[in-house]
């Protein structure tokens, strides 16, 4: 039995290492370009660690059992009549409960942090209409643009509006997403922390042109942003 | 095909309601598909006239309104005409009108030739097979659609179809898979197995059972026929969100109404299962002696009867908005857009468990009998089903974390969502513990069951990511969701359906499938399934939204690999079909109990006698007492082999 346990653990470790390699060798998440996404990525890794452990555990027992206790199809004996084990059953109720509650708490904390609007947030209005995004900057006048430009390290508060059907505003590198819904206003916060060019993607099926409903987002320095605003107003 | 002994002469009815024998008259006016066809046509005309007359009477201009005529004539009256024509209502109508009914309505029982599968038949075993064959036909159609749009997606840009067709293919694919395959295929397996497992001669309401089956082809044909509608098939996704769905071309109505027929079928079957399980258990079959498949269908049926009316309502409201200009979901008329999503998900989250719990039941049967061990923690296994049932009604808004609903709802719904992982985990760990020190027979159903356990763990874990609101905000509506739902629905539900079909195949047909082909089927499916769906996690997180025909060229290579893998996955299904068809026709004759299982269906002949048990079994113990010396599940006379009867 001792030898069996060692073998089982070995299989579990091999599986765990393999899955860990899959998790770290590929870059699963886009580079974060916002404070919000930085926090989300932390929870992502927390969930990933839980997943690796659970998957390796289940995988190891399945592989080990099949390898150890497989019998030819014409074998006609029965296994030992084990009906259960209260200790084990309590353990695998309690441990997952603790894990998911921990995940829930961490998630709730991040959610609330990502929802903390500062009073000097830049106001941006995102208007979804089949099949294009338009942006307004009410603090700076009433022009509309097809390109989203944001100053770096400055929190932006988006207010979403939809003209016809539901659309969804997503910049993968910001990690934030919110539907634009006809009849109601929705909001989301983004604090860009990296300059560069990114894609604005519509993620809610909105009709024939849904796949092409995209826009460009640029995160620039405050000076560049001011210059851009002046240009728009001119 | 199979023939079973029958002691009742099917032709001995009072003459006055039997049409004259052997004539064209009988073909035209006797219950059957021919009468179904012309009565459907008559129904359509009646419905059309009703609409025209009423509209003309109220001087509405124009009197002709295609969508209304289609709904009333094509989607209500014609199907009712069809059902009346095939004879679904004959007994009830005779009864209502005071004409003599067939004294003992065992007439429809049993199948004596393949033709009996194309008639209204009240034998739960026949109905089970009707369900399975029909659902696999729709599985094939839905699968071919997937092959088609995967070909389109192999490269960025549009190659084969236009965007309306693309949206139609994606929407009809998902709709068929959910409403015409997974849900009813489980109903088919349960139809066959549950009454036998309970020691009952049939379901509680055999005629209702037959009716529920015949509603399915109506729904399926409606969904597929939407491709013929001007403007193309419904293209708002299987979720059919308003207001997009309200502005869609005519095809959307086919979805709104098809869901009604499929939903009605589910509800009737669920009621039937509930009454059967509650009232028709053999003596001694207490709840705590019921096999887990029965438990699973008990909880599923509760989910169905409580939740399904909500999707029916949501689709009616959308249709009313479309054709009656109500404003349930249009803000201009004071409607509330998010109301649709709340109602829809109040059904559709429980629906994901409707699509999973029966599979849990199947896998419990297979793993226990193939490991030759009692299922680990039987009571907790049953209780965790009930836990999922209750929790399942309190999590629907996790599909709406980015929908703009009330903020305060997010955290509570996140907590309940994450808590569902606990009963789910209990089940997974208990299956794995059942393997421990067992004597494992790696047959095809067992391979699929083990494939299910491992794949479902992946799907459940991606569910944990999505349950966490901040991660969901990043991942929602991307290919990550597509990956999640295929790990739970394909690696999960579909694998368990395959396991169930292989497991009960000898019982249903009296013949054995080919084990070697079964293994090929499993391994081809398992590998290509992972190659198809695992990379979708990646492209989704990296920025590819779902339901798009075009995407950033950076995702081109990955999508190409996915498409190739999906073709292999499609091809692997051919192995299954070949195996099933050839084994059904000329496979080796199967024993009554090839798996040496303990549950009751294995204690009668293969296929079972027409009324299942010649003598009512007396249940004396649990269903999984493998390895317990002298333990028995039930006492009964030895199985009487069914005799081939050639009339
Ligand atoms: C531990 C268990 C599970 C958890 C925590 C979980 C969680 C979630 C969440 C949060 C979503 C919403 C994602 C989004 O749209 O942003 C989702 C979507 C979905 N889940 Fe699960 N899930 C679990 C198991 C299952 C199972 C067992 C099934 C079905 C058999 C299932 C089927 C689906 C489907 C079909 C969708 C997508 C619906 C759509 O938008 O088209 N899930 N899941
Ligand atoms: Cu869109
Ligand atoms: Cu859900």
Position A78 in a domain: no
Count: domains in chain A = 2
Show the domain range for A41. 2-69+89-114
Same domain, A126 and A228: yes
- Condensed to tens digits (0 to 9), the pLDDT of residues B236-282 reads 999 999 999 999 999 999 999 999 999 999 999 999 999 999 999 99
What is the dihedral angle through the alpha carbons of B467, B473, B477, B479, rounded to the nearest 10 degrees? -80
- Condensed to tens digits (0 to 9), the pLDDT of residues B198-224 reads 999 999 999 999 999 999 999 999 999
End-to-end CA distance of chain A: 81
Give the whole-angstrom CA distance, residue B46 versus residue B48.
5
| pLDDT for B16 | 45
Cβ neighbors of B401 (< 8 A, separation 6 or more) are: B410, B413, B414, B469, B472, B473, B476
Position A75 in a domain: no
The answer to whether the Cα torsion of B58, B60, B66, B67 is positive or negative is: negative
| pLDDT for B55 | 93
Give the whole-angstrom CA distance, residue A64 versus residue A73.
18
Position A83 in a domain: no
Please, which contacts does B631-638 make with residues 24 or more away whose CB atoms are closer than 8 Å? B631/A81, B633/B289, B633/B598, B633/B599, B633/B600, B634/B199, B634/B282, B634/B284, B634/B600, B634/B603, B636/B603
Same domain, A98 and A154: no
| pLDDT for B30 | 83
Position A226 in a domain: yes
CB proximity B8 to A under 8 Å: no
Same domain, A133 and A154: yes
Same domain, A164 and A197: yes
Same domain, A105 and A141: no
Ligand index nearest the alpha carbon of residue B545? 2
Same domain, A108 and A169: no
Return the number of other C-beta atoms located less than 10 Å from residue B554's C-beta: 12
> What CATH number has the domain bearing residue A131?
2.60.40.420
Same domain, A109 and A149: no
pLDDT beyond 70 at B104? no
Give the whole-angstrom CA distance, residue A57 versus residue A95.
13
Tokens at A164, concatenated: 């016809």
Same domain, A143 and A102: no
Chain B residues whose beta carbon lies within 8 Å of the beta carbon of residue A216: none
DSSP B70: I
Position A81 in a domain: no
The answer to whether the Cα torsion of B371, B372, B376, B378 is positive or negative is: positive
Position A15 in a domain: yes
Write out residues 12-41 of B within 8 Å (CB-CB) of A: none
Inter-chain CB proximity A210 and B548 less than 8 Å: yes
pLDDT band for B17, please (50, 70, 90 cuts): very low
- Condensed to tens digits (0 to 9), the pLDDT of residues B585-595 reads 999 999 999 99
CA B138 to chain centre: 10
Same domain, A109 and A127: no
What is the dihedral angle through the alpha carbons of A141, A146, A149, A155, rounded to the nearest 10 degrees? 70
Domain boundary among A59, A79, A114: A114
Number of continuous H segments (helices) and E segments (strands) in chain A: 4, 10
| pLDDT for B4 | 42
- Condensed to tens digits (0 to 9), the pLDDT of residues B376-390 reads 999 999 999 999 999
pLDDT beyond 50 at B11? no
Distance from CA of A123 to the nearest CA of B (A): 18
Position A84 in a domain: no
- Condensed to tens digits (0 to 9), the pLDDT of residues B496-552 reads 999 999 999 999 999 999 999 999 999 999 999 999 999 999 999 999 999 999 999
Chain A residues whose beta carbon lies within 8 Å of the beta carbon of residue B426: 89, 92-93
Closest to B297 measured CA to CA, from B217, B431, B189: B189
pLDDT beyond 50 at B235? yes
Nearest to B464 among A40, A47, A83 (CB): A47
Q: Is A207 left (phi over 0), alpha (psi -120 to 50) or beta?
A: left
Closest to B435 measured CA to CA, from B450, B421, B455: B450
| pLDDT for B303 | 96
Average pLDDT over residues B280-305: 96
Helix pair A35-69, B444-467: axis angle to 10 deg: 160
CB proximity B464 to A under 8 Å: yes
Distances (CA, A) of B141 to B39, B145, B368: 27, 6, 34
Average pLDDT over residues B318-343: 93
Nearest to A83 among B372, B374, B419 (CB): B374
Closest to B533 measured CA to CA, from B638, B603, B455: B455
Same domain, A143 and A107: no
Same domain, A180 and A160: yes
Phi (first) and psi of residue B216, to 5 degrees: -65, -55
CB proximity A111 to B under 8 Å: yes
Distances (CA, A) of A44 to A193, B412, B465, B466, B556: 19, 20, 7, 10, 26
Tokens at B22, concatenated: 């052997």
Average pLDDT over residues A36-44: 96
Give the whole-angstrom CA distance, residue B524 versus residue B521.
5
Closest to B374 measured CA to CA, from B441, B439, B428: B439
Give the whole-angstrom CA distance, residue B271 versus residue B90.
21
Give the HSE-up count for residue B527: Cα atoms under 13 Å, Cβ half-sphere: 9
Nearest to A199 among B374, B543, B547 (CB): B543
Return the number of other C-beta atoms located less than 10 Å from residue A147's C-beta: 15
Give the whole-angstrom CA distance, residue A95 versus residue A113.
27
Report field, pTM of the whole predicted structure over 0.90:
yes
| pLDDT for B114 | 82
pLDDT band for B13, please (50, 70, 90 cuts): very low
CA angle A83, B192, B510 (to 5 degrees): 95
DSSP B619: E
- CA-based R_g, chain A, Å: 25
Same domain, A105 and A13: yes
The sheet carrying A167-171 orders its strands as A148-151, A214-220, A196-202, A167-171, A176-180
What percentage of chain B has pLDDT greater than the value 70?
94
CB proximity B439 to A under 8 Å: yes
Phi (first) and psi of residue A214, to 5 degrees: -135, 160
Cβ neighbors of B398 (< 8 A, separation 6 or more) are: B349, B413, B414, B417, B466, B467, B472
| Interface TM-score (ipTM) > 0.90 | yes
- Condensed to tens digits (0 to 9), the pLDDT of residues B31-73 reads 889 999 999 999 999 999 999 999 999 998 888 999 999 999 9
The answer to whether the Cα torsion of B143, A204, A165, A207 is positive or negative is: negative
Give the HSE-up count for residue A76: Cα atoms under 13 Å, Cβ half-sphere: 4
CA B326 to chain centre: 32
Ligand index nearest the alpha carbon of residue A162? 2
Give the whole-angstrom CA distance, residue B378 versus residue B261.
36
For testing the chain A interface, which of B165, B321, B461, B468 should be mutated: the one with the most A CBs within 10 Å? B468
The sheet carrying A186-190 orders its strands as A144-145, A132-136, A122-129, A156-162, A186-190
Could you give all domains of chain B from N- to C-terminal order, each with its CATH number?
26-96 (no CATH), 117-586 (1.20.210.10)
Domain boundary among A80, A114, A148: A114
């Amino acid at each position: 039995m001792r030898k069996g346990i060692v073998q089982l653990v070995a299989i579990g470790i091999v599986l765990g290492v393999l899955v860990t390699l899959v998790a770290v060798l590929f870059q699963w998440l886009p580079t974060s370009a916002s404070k919000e996404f930085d926090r989300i990525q932390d929870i992502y890794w927390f969930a990933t660690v839980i997943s690796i452990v659970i998957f390796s555990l289940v995988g190891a027992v399945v592989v080990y059992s099949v390898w150890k206790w497989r019998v030819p199809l014409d074998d006609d004996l029965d296994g030992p009549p084990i009906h259960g084990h209260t200790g084990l059953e309590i353990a695998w109720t309690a441990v997952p409960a603790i894990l998911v509650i921990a995940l829930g708490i961490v998630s709730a904390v991040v959610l609330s942090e990502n929802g903390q609007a500062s009073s000097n947030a830049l106001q941006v209005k995102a208007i979804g209409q089949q099949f294009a995004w338009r942006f307004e900057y009410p603090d700076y006048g009433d022009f509309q643009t097809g390109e989203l430009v944001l100053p770096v390290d400055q929190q932006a508060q988006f207010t979403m509006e939809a003209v016809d059907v539901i659309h969804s505003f997503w910049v993968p590198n910001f990690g934030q997403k919110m539907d634009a819904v006809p009849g109601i206003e929705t909001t989301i916060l983004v604090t860009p922390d990296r300059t560069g060019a990114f894609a604005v993607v519509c993620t809610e099926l909105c009709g024939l042109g849904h796949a092409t409903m995209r826009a460009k987002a640029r995160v620039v320095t405050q000076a560049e942003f001011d210059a851009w605003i002046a240009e728009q107003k001119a | 095909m199979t023939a079973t002994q029958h002691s009742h002469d099917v032709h001995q009815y009072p003459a006055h309601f039997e049409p004259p024998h052997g004539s064209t008259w009988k073909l035209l006016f006797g219950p059957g598909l021919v009468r179904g066809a012309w009565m459907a046509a008559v129904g359509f005309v009646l419905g059309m006239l009703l609409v025209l007359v009423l509209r003309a009477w109220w001087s509405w201009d124009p009197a002709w309104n295609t969508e209304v005529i289609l709904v009333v004539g094509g989607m209500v009256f014609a199907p009712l005409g069809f059902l009346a024509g095939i004879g679904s209502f004959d007994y009830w109508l005779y009864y209502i009108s005071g004409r003599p009914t067939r004294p003992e309505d065992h007439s429809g029982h049993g199948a004596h030739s393949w033709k009996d599968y194309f008639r209204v038949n009240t034998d739960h075993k026949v109905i089970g097979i009707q369900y399975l064959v029909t659902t696999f036909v729709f599985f094939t159609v839905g699968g071919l659609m997937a092959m088609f749009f995967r070909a389109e997606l192999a490269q960025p840009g549009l190659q084969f179809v236009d965007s309306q067709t693309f949206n139609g293919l994606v929407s009809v694919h998902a709709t068929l898979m959910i409403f015409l395959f997974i849900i009813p295929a489980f109903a088919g397996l349960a139809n066959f197995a549950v009454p036998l497992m309970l020691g009952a001669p049939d379901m509680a309401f055999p005629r209702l059972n037959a009716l529920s089956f015949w509603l399915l082809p109506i729904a399926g044909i409606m969904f597929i026929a939407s491709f013929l509608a001007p403007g193309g098939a419904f293209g708002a996704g299987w979720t059919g969100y308003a207001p997009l769905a309200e502005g869609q071309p005519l095809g959307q109505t086919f979805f709104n109404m098809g869901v009604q027929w499929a939903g009605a079928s589910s509800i009737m079957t669920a009621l039937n299962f509930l009454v059967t399980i509650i009232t028709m258990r053999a003596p001694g079959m207490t709840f705590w002696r019921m096999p887990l498949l029965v438990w699973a269908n008990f909880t599923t049926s509760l989910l169905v009867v409580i939740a399904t009316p909500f999707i029916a309502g949501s689709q009616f409201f959308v249709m009313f908005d479309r054709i009656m200009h109500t404003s349930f979901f249009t803000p201009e008329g004071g409607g509330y857009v998010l109301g649709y999503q709340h109602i829809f998900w109040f059904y559709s989250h429980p629906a994901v468990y409707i699509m999973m719990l029966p599979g849990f039941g199947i896998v419990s049967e297979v793993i226990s009998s193939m490991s030759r061990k009692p299922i680990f923690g039987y009571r907790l296994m049953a209780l965790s089903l009930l836990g999922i049932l209750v929790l399942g009604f309190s999590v629907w808004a996790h599909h709406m974390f980015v929908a703009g609903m009330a903020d305060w709802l997010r955290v509570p719904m996140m907590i309940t969502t994450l808590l569902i992982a606990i009963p789910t985990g209990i089940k997974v760990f208990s299956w794995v513990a059942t393997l421990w020190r067992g004597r494992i027979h790696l047959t095809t159903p067992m391979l699929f069951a083990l494939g299910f356990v491992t794949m479902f763990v992946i799907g459940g874990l991606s569910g944990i990511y999505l349950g966490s609101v901040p991660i969901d905000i990043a991942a929602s509506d991307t290919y990550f969701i597509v990956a999640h739902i295929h790990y739970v629905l394909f690696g999960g539900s579909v694998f368990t359906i395959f396991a169930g079909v292989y497991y009960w195949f000898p019982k249903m047909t009296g013949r054995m499938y080919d084990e070697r082909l079964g293994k090929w089927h499993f391994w081809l499916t398992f590998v290509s399934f992972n190659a198809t769906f695992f990379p979708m996690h990646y492209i989704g997180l990296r920025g590819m939204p779902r339901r798009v025909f075009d995407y950033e060229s950076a995702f081109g290579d990955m999508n190409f690999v996915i498409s190739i893998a999906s073709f292999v996955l499609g091809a692997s299904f051919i192995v299954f079909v070949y195996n099933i068809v050839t084994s059904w026709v000329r496979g080796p004759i199967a024993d009554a109990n090839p798996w040496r299982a303990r549950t009751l269906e294995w204690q009668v002949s293969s296929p079972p006698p027409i009324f299942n048990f010649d003598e009512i079994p007396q249940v004396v113990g649990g269903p999984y007492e493998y390895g317990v010396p002298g333990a028995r599940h039930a006492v009964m006379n030895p199985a009487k082999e069914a005799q081939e009867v050639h009339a």
